[in-house]
């Protein structure tokens, strides 16, 4: 709250905009935060939620089964979002995607056309993956 009063005094001096000042938004007393887990250790297809040693002494471990679609992928982060007053949870998996290469077919064809030594039948795509066309470069 101290920074709020500092901003108000700056606004009164004309150094800060009054409209940009707002009271911080706090979590309700009976509200729930999302749990974001950045370091992930997967044992087979199970993931155990990490918690403190003191909590481990009094509670059983909570394990989550990883969906089979994500087993081969490198999971970077798991976010557990409480829904309906934490009666249900939504789990979001954030994982690494391999980079897709966007090939410039027209540029490659222009290079091949300029080199006189090339006389090939080239398989090229017209933009859709399912409809390749055969063209002849002479």
- Same domain? 13 vs 36: no
H or E segment to which residue 135 belongs? strand 132-136
How high is the pLDDT of residue 80?
A: 92
Rounding to the nearest 10 degrees, give the CA dihedral for residues 51, 55, 60, 63. -10
Using alpha carbons, list the distances in angstroms from residue 75 to 26, 40, 50, 131.
Answer: 31, 8, 16, 34
pTM exceeding the 0.85 threshold for the entire prediction: no
Q: Provide the domain count of the chain.
A: 3
For the residues 58-82, what does the mean pLDDT come to? 90
* Residues in the chain, overall count: 138
- Same domain? 22 vs 39: no
- Same domain? 90 vs 78: yes
- Same domain? 37 vs 24: no
- Same domain? 8 vs 21: yes
- Same domain? 93 vs 113: no
How high is the pLDDT of residue 27?
A: 84
- Same domain? 77 vs 40: yes
Q: How many CB atoms lie within 10 A of CB 99?
A: 6
How high is the pLDDT of residue 129?
A: 46
How high is the pLDDT of residue 58?
A: 95
Would you put residue 84 in left (φ > 0), alpha (ψ -120 to 50) or beta?
left
**Residue 114 pLDDT more than 50?**
yes
How many angstroms separate the CA atoms of 63 and 61, rounded? 6
Would you put residue 55 in left (φ > 0), alpha (ψ -120 to 50) or beta?
alpha
How high is the pLDDT of residue 54?
A: 94
**Residue 83 pLDDT more than 50?**
yes
> For residue range 4-33, what is the model confidence (pLDDT) as tens digits?
678 888 888 888 887 878 777 888 888 898
How high is the pLDDT of residue 103?
A: 57
- Same domain? 92 vs 40: yes
Nearest to 67 by CA among 32, 87, 93, 41: 93
Give me the domain span that covers residue 10. 1-28
The percent of residues in the chain predicted with pLDDT above 70, rounded, is: 68
What mean pLDDT value characterizes the chain?
76
How many angstroms separate the CA atoms of 100 and 81, rounded? 30
- Same domain? 132 vs 75: no
- Same domain? 96 vs 109: no
- Same domain? 44 vs 8: no
- Same domain? 21 vs 42: no
């Amino acid at each position: 709250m101290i920074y709020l009063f500092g901003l108000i005094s700056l606004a009164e001096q004309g150094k800060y905009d009054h409209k940009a000042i707002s009271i911080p938004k706090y979590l309700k007393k009976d509200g729930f935060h999302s749990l974001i887990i950045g370091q992930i250790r997967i044992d087979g297809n199970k993931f155990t939620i990490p918690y403190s040693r003191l909590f481990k002494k009094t509670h059983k471990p909570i394990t989550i089964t990883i969906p089979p679609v994500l087993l081969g992928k490198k999971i970077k982060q798991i976010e557990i979002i409480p829904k309906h007053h934490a009666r249900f949870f939504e789990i979001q998996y954030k994982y690494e995607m391999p980079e897709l290469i966007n090939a410039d077919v027209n540029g490659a064809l222009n290079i091949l056309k300029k080199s006189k030594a090339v006389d090939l039948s080239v398989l090229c795509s017209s933009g859709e993956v399912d409809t390749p066309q055969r063209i002849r470069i002479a």
